[in-house]
Amino acid sequence: MATEYLYVNNFTADVNDWTNTGSTPYLHDTDVDYISTAVTDKVSRNYDFANTAIADFATITTIELEVESRSGVLGTYVHCALSLDGVNFTEKLNAPIDDSDTWIYATADVTAFFASLANINSCTLRCTSHRPASGTVRVRRARLKITYTVASTQQTKTLIEEYDY
């Protein structure tokens, strides 16, 4: 088994009531870049993931959406929705945030959402904040974690040697 991580690598235009900290695209693989809002039920911009390098969709065993978020206020959530066309979104993950004010990963199995490599490469993420009366919602990383099988080179080598003419 092998794993490929597809981090956010692009986003649509900025939106009101979300603050960007660091450099674009904000939800990639760093410890210093993130987005935040103190407004409840605010929809973020659309985020695109990097394309997969996997050549055969049939080798994929699982695809998970992973989002790292933080608040410090109990009852805070980041609602994460995916789209294959950038218009029609389906909620896939309610990432709960505890009151520890530390970065926490939330994960959802989204394998059934995808039917092809083209679907994976066209996938878009949108986050919506939910918070109680106070607090700030922060999102630092978002990625698709793809687990897939890899053909065994030893098995292939053995078969070739066995039938060496």
Contacts (Cβ under 8 Å, ≥6 apart) of 123? 48, 49, 82, 83, 84, 114, 144
Give me the tens of pLDDT residue by residue for the chain, a chain 165 residues long: 999 999 999 998 777 889 999 999 999 999 999 999 999 898 999 999 999 999 999 999 999 999 999 998 888 889 999 999 999 999 999 988 888 889 999 999 999 999 999 999 999 999 999 988 788 899 999 999 999 999 775 443 434 444 444
Residue 157 pLDDT: 42
Question: Is-contact 76 65, C-beta < 8 A?
Answer: no
Amino acid at 71: S
Closest by CA to 147, choosing from 114, 122, 101, is: 114
**What residue spans define the domains of the chain?**
2-162
pTM of the model: 0.87
Question: 92: helix, coil or strand?
Answer: strand
Question: Is-contact 94 85, C-beta < 8 A?
Answer: no
Fold of 2-162: Jelly Rolls (2.60.120)
